[in-house]
Copies of this chain bind each other. A is one copy, B any other.
Amino acid sequence: MNTEELVELAQQLRVDSVRAAAAAGSGHPTSSMSAADLMAVLLARHLRYDFERPAHPGNDRFVLSKGHASPLLYAAYKAAGVVDDEELVTFRKLGSRLEGHPTPRRLPWVETATGSLGQGLPVGVGIALAGQRLDRTGYRVWVLCGDSELAEGSIWEAAEHAGYEHLDNLTVIVDVNRLGQRGPTRHGHDLDAYARRFRAFDWHTVEIDGHDVDAIDRAYGEALSTRGQPTAIIARTLKGKGVADVEDHEGLHGKPLKNADDAIAELGGPRGITLHVHEPPSARSPHPAPAGRIELPRWEKGEQAATRDAFGQALTALGTARPDVVVLDGEVGDSTRAEYFAKEHPERYFECYIAEQQLVATAVGMAARAWLPYASTFAAFLTRAHDFVRMASISGSGIVLNGSHAGVAIGQDGPSQMGLEDLAMMRAVHGSTVLYPCDANQTAKLVAAAAGLEGIRYLRTSRGGSEVLYGPDEEFPVGGSKVLRSSAEDRLTLVAAGVTVPEALAAADALAGEGIRARVIDLYSVKPVDRDTLRRAAEETGCLVTVEDHHPEGGLGDAVAEALADGGPVPRLVRLAVRTMPGSAAPDQQLHAAGIDAESIAAAGKLLVEEAVVR
C-alpha cells in the first residue's frame, strides 16, 4: 500500500470504529480514532500474521494494551477480512464475540484480555521473552498503549524487564492523544516526557506525528532494525482525529459520537478496503514431545520435610518430564525453592526480580505461547499481582501460581510476610483451583496434578518442616480429600489443611483421651472442594470445626460452608482462623496465639460437642 492507500485504510478504521460504537450505543470511538493511522500502517505494512492460523508459530503478536480501543481492533479485523460488516455492528451486544474489551476466550487473534490498563505491555514482554528465549521462531511483538496507562507502575516494571532482557523483538507504540478519561493526562503532548522515561530503562525511542503514515512507516522500520533494545514509538495524536466535533475535545471519553452519520460523511464515508496481511515466515513449533513419565521425589512416612522443599523438588522432576514447563520467580527462589528447578533447567527458568505484577504477566505471556508456567513468590506478595491474576482468568490463561510462606506459621518475620488472605483471593478467581498440601508427598503429587488442569491453579506451601503423613504412592485427586481419622462413634469432624492438619490430628488424640471421637479431614483441595465427604461427615457427626492458618474470611471455613450450602441440612459449625493481628514470635507460639493449634482445636471441639448435647 502506498501513502494514499494507507490514509484511506486509516479512515476506514475510523469510520468502522464510529459505526461499531454507534450501533452499540456505547464504547470508545475517539480513543480508536487517535490510533487509526498507527494501526493501519502496522496492519498493511509490518505485521506478519496468518489470520487463518492464529496458532502459527511464526505469527507476529499484537496486543491492544489500551483495550478500550476495541472498535479499532475489530475494524482492523474487518479490514483483514476475518470479521464481516454484519458482525462488526454486534459490538457489545449479548452473545457477540466483539466485547467491550477484547478477550482471547472469544476471539482467536487476541493474545490476552485487556481493559485493565497497564497490563498489555507486561504481557507483551512475557510473549517477547518467550519469543527470544523459548520459541525462537523470529516473531515480533507489537503493543499499542495509551498514554494514560503509562501512569501504572506495571508499565515501568515491564519497561525495566524488557530493557534488561534486550528484547529487540518488542515494539511498543504509545498513542499520545493527550486526553485520559477524566481530562488531560499528566504530560499532555510532551512526547519527550515519555521517551526519556523509556530511554532511562534502556529502550530505543522514536518520536513521531502519529497521523503521518510515512513517519509511522519509517518508525516501524527503525524498530525492526534496532538490535539489542526494545523500541518505544511515541506518537503524537489527537483523540477523535478526523471529526471536528470531537477532535481533541475533553469530556468525550467512552462515548459514541452524537452525530455518527455526519461524522462518517466527514471521514469520507464507508470504504470496502480488504487487505491481505503479510504471511509469517514458515516456522516450526519449538515444543519437543513430552519426555515421558514423571519421576517424582519420594519421602518416607515420618520424615521431616517442608512443603516448599517438596514443591521445588517436584517442580524440577516435572520439568524433566515435560519440556513445556517453565518456571518464574520473584527473586525469592531460594525461599520458594524454585531455585531447584533453576539449577536443573536454567534455560527454562526466568528470574523476574521483585516485580510480582511482571512475574504473573510474564507467565500469562508465556502461557499465550503454549508454555506451561509455574510462577512462585511468597503467598503474601501474590496480592501485589491480584489484578493480573483476575485478568488472566478473563483471558482463560493456563498458569500455575505458587505462594510460599503461608500463614502465621512462618514465625518471626511478622505479618508483612504472612500470606493470610491468599486463599480468599485465589478462591474468588473465576475457574480457579486452590490446593493446600500438608506434607511432602502430597505436595509433589499436587505439583504434578496441577500441570493437567486448566485456568488459574494455586498451590499454597509452607515454610517450616513437618512430618510426612502419607506414603509416596498415595494419590490425591484434585477435588478430593483424605479422611485421616474416622469411626462410627465420631461426634464431630475436624477439617484442616496444610499446617493445621498435624494440629488437628493431635487435637483428635487429645479429644479421644476425653472420650470424644473426632473425625479428621485433610481438605488439601480447597477449590474444588470434596462436597461428598464433607456432607457425609456433616450428617454422620453433626458438628464441624474448621481450622485454617488464614484470616476467617474467604478461606477453608468459607469453602466448607459453601460445600454445605446445597440445600441440605447443615451441621453445627465453628471456625478457627487467624482473627488477631500477629506480631513476631516462634511458629508454635504463633499457632497458639492465633488459636489454631492442637490445644485450641481440642477446646473448640469439646465445647461444640457439649453445646450440641445441651441444645
- In the complex, whether A355 has a CB less than 8 A from a CB of chain B is yes
Interface pair B421/A92, CB less than 8 Å apart: no
* A430 contact set on B, CB distance < 8 A: 420, 551, 581
Of A98, A351, A354, which is in contact with the most chain B CB atoms at under 10 Å from its CB?
A: A354
Residue among B156, B355, B412, B608 making CB contact with A24, cutoff 8 Å: B412
* A180 contact set on B, CB distance < 8 A: 331, 353-354
Residue among B154, B417, B551 making CB contact with A101, cutoff 8 Å: B417
* A117 contact set on B, CB distance < 8 A: 354
Interface size on A (CB < 8 Å)?
118
- In the complex, whether A8 has a CB less than 8 A from a CB of chain B is no
Interface pair B527/A553, CB less than 8 Å apart: yes
**Closest B-chain residue to A332, C-beta based?**
B181
Q: How far is the CA of A608 from the CA of B103 in the complex (A)?
A: 36
**Closest B-chain residue to A196, C-beta based?**
B200
Interface pair B331/A182, CB less than 8 Å apart: yes
Q: How far is the CA of A384 from the CA of B384 in the complex (A)?
A: 7
**Closest B-chain residue to A101, C-beta based?**
B416
- In the complex, whether A138 has a CB less than 8 A from a CB of chain B is no
Interface pair A416/B391, CB less than 8 Å apart: yes
Interface pair B354/A584, CB less than 8 Å apart: no
Interface pair A574/B567, CB less than 8 Å apart: yes
**Closest B-chain residue to A378, C-beta based?**
B116
Interface pair A353/B197, CB less than 8 Å apart: no
- In the complex, whether A586 has a CB less than 8 A from a CB of chain B is yes
Interface pair A581/B105, CB less than 8 Å apart: yes
Interface pair A148/B26, CB less than 8 Å apart: no
With contacts A180-B353, A390-B383 known, is A99 near B583, CB below 8 A? yes
CB of A372, distance to nearest CB on chain B (Å)? 21
- In the complex, whether A130 has a CB less than 8 A from a CB of chain B is no
Interface residues of A in 484-517 (CB under 8 A from B): none
- In the complex, whether A325 has a CB less than 8 A from a CB of chain B is no
- In the complex, whether A100 has a CB less than 8 A from a CB of chain B is yes
Q: How far is the CA of A91 from the CA of B357 in the complex (A)?
A: 32
* A412 contact set on B, CB distance < 8 A: 24, 26-27, 92, 100
CB of A573, distance to nearest CB on chain B (Å)? 4
- A4-37 vs B: 1/0 string, CB under 8 Å? 0000000000000000000010110000000000
- In the complex, whether A315 has a CB less than 8 A from a CB of chain B is no
Q: How far is the CA of A611 from the CA of B153 in the complex (A)?
A: 52
**Closest B-chain residue to A251, C-beta based?**
B334
Interface pair A565/B554, CB less than 8 Å apart: no
Interface pair A153/B114, CB less than 8 Å apart: no
Q: How far is the CA of A329 from the CA of B189 in the complex (A)?
A: 23
Residue among B384, B415, B573 making CB contact with A387, cutoff 8 Å: B384
* A199 contact set on B, CB distance < 8 A: 200
Q: How far is the CA of A154 from the CA of B565 in the complex (A)?
A: 40
Q: How far is the CA of A553 from the CA of B157 in the complex (A)?
A: 31
Interface residues of A in 375-403 (CB under 8 A from B): 380-381, 383-384, 386-387, 390-391, 393-394
- In the complex, whether A564 has a CB less than 8 A from a CB of chain B is yes
Interface pair A428/B562, CB less than 8 Å apart: no
- In the complex, whether A452 has a CB less than 8 A from a CB of chain B is no
29 interchain pairs (CB within 8 A)? A92-B414, A95-B583, A100-B414, A103-B414, A115-B417, A148-B353, A151-B354, A152-B355, A153-B153, A153-B158, A180-B353, A182-B333, A199-B200, A380-B387, A383-B387, A384-B387, A386-B421, A421-B428, A424-B427, A428-B551, A428-B555, A527-B553, A554-B558, A558-B558, A561-B561, A561-B565, A566-B574, A569-B572, A569-B615
Q: Give A residues with C-beta under 8 Å from B.
A: 24, 26-27, 67, 91-96, 98-101, 103, 105-106, 113-118, 148-149, 151-158, 160, 164, 180-182, 185-186, 196-197, 199-201, 331-335, 339, 351, 353-358, 380-381, 383-384, 386-387, 390-391, 393-394, 412-417, 420-421, 424-425, 427-431, 527, 551-555, 557-559, 561-562, 564-575, 581, 583-586, 589, 593, 607-608, 611-612, 615
